[in-house]
């Protein structure tokens, strides 16, 4: 049994949660049991876990602070490998995991405890200029864990048709409303995909239904993206999922570290970077795009096998 321990919140976003759900599915295909442990009681994350049917348990923030929760989980589930997708694993927590005799795996972790990890998976560390710790480190886009559904919908786009926008599970900085304001002034149409943690509905009140189609908490983002020819996304994993599907993007960096992702995607030719969330150059959407060239570049550079690659590494590590 593996534990996949993750944090998810409005400010942190839900990408880490989705990543662990996809990793769980890859492990399941290999016949390996795992359970997702959610730290905190983020309601949209809890709802998504229930909808996805992913085995999970919740550890409250107070339990993390006041109890020996790690040992309790190890005893309860008979764990032999612990995965942290929390970004900041501290040394005390990492030491507890190692003292329990478990292999420790971290994802994109810059915390003081990451140096104790037997394996660190940091697929995009190089694009961000980060130096990450760990006894073994996996970097490169081939280790990106993306939605397995993308493989069903990969296709080459030939021309610019419909526009879709999605800024992750939460859209922490309300970029959707910013984009809508700009598009409305130019009478440009778009489909807006809102994540389960989106809470800026008031800013979208009164939208013209002939101009904007609004969908929230869609069962499959890959399926929704398949109907479109250009996407506006944040600079997180959604942009890489679009690339893998052959969907060209215009990207916005919601966090400073996402700027490196956006520039990387622009450099490989599948995307155009429009700037940081508080200083976006939306006029980029008025320029011509070589949609077919961008579509082919994305499919050629980003595949959908990262989850299986990482799962194999975990199984090998667990012995």
**Do 201 and 272 have their domain in common?**
yes
Residue 161 and residue 296 in one domain: yes
Structure tokens at 294: 């961008």
Same-domain check for residues 178 and 257: yes
Q: Are residues 136 and 163 in the same domain?
A: no
Split at pLDDT 50, 70, 90, the class of 13 is confident
Give me the pLDDT at residue 319, please. 79
pLDDT at 57: 94
Q: What percent of the chain has pLDDT over 90?
A: 78
* pLDDT score of 43: 87
* Claim to verify: residue 87 and residue 142 sit in the same structural domain: yes
Average pLDDT value for the chain: 93
> How would residue 208 be classed by pLDDT, with cut points 50, 70 and 90?
confident
Same domain, 86 and 162: no
| CATH code of the domain containing 232 | 3.40.50.2000
CB 311 within 8 A of CB 30: yes
Shared domain check, 135 and 24: yes
Same domain, 76 and 159: no
Average pLDDT over residues 11-30: 90
Q: Which domain holds residue 41?
A: 2-146+305-318
Mean pLDDT for 293-318 is: 97
Q: Are residues 216 and 91 in the same domain?
A: no
Total tally of structural domains belonging to the chain? 2
pLDDT in tens, 39-93: 988 888 888 899 889 999 999 888 887 779 999 999 999 999 999 998 889 999 9
pLDDT of residue 137: 97
Q: Are residues 183 and 138 in the same domain?
A: no
Tens-place pLDDT, residues 145-196:
999 999 999 999 999 999 999 998 778 888 999 999 999 999 999 999 998 8
Residues 174 and 73 in one domain: no
What region does 190 belong to: left with phi over 0, alpha with psi -120 to 50, or beta? beta
6 shares its domain with 99: yes
Radius of gyration of the chain (CA): 20
What is the distance, to the nearest Å, from the Cα of residue 251 to the centroid of all Cα atoms in its chain? 14
């Amino acid at each position: 049994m593996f534990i996949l321990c993750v944090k998810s919140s409005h400010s942190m976003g839900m990408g880490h949660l989705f990543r662990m759900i996809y990793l769980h599915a890859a492990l399941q295909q290999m016949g390996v049991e795992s359970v997702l442990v959610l730290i905190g009681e983020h309601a949209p994350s809890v709802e998504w876990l229930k909808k996805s049917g992913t085995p999970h348990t919740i550890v409250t923030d107070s339990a993390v602070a006041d109890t020996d929760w790690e040992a309790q989980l190890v005893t309860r589930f008979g764990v032999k490998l612990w995965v942290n997708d929390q970004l900041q694993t501290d040394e005390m927590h990492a030491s507890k995991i190692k003292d329990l005799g478990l292999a420790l795996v971290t994802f994109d972790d810059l915390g003081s405890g990451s140096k104790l990890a037997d394996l660190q998976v940091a697929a995009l560390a190089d694009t961000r200029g980060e130096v990450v710790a760990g006894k073994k480190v996996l970097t490169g886009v081939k280790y990106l864990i993306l939605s397995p559904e993308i493989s069903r919908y990969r296709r080459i786009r030939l021309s610019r048709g419909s526009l879709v926008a999605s800024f992750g599970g939460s859209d922490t900085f309300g970029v959707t409303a910013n984009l809508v304001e700009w598009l409305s002034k130019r009478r440009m149409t778009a489909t807006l995909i809102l994540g389960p943690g989106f809470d800026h509905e008031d800013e979208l009140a009164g939208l013209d239904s002939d101009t904007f189609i609004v969908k929230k908490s869609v069962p499959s983002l890959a399926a929704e993206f398949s109907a479109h020819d250009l996407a506006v996304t944040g600079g997180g994993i959604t942009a890489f999922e679009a690339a893998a599907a052959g969907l060209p993007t215009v990207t916005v960096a919601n966090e400073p570290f996402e700027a490196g992702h956006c520039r990387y995607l622009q450099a490989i030719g599948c995307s155009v970077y429009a700037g940081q969330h508080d200083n976006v150059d939306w006029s980029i959407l008025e320029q011509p795009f070589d949609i077919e060239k961008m579509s082919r570049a994305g499919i050629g550079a980003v595949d959908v096998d990262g989850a299986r690659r990482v799962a194999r590494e975990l199984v090998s590590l667990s012995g």
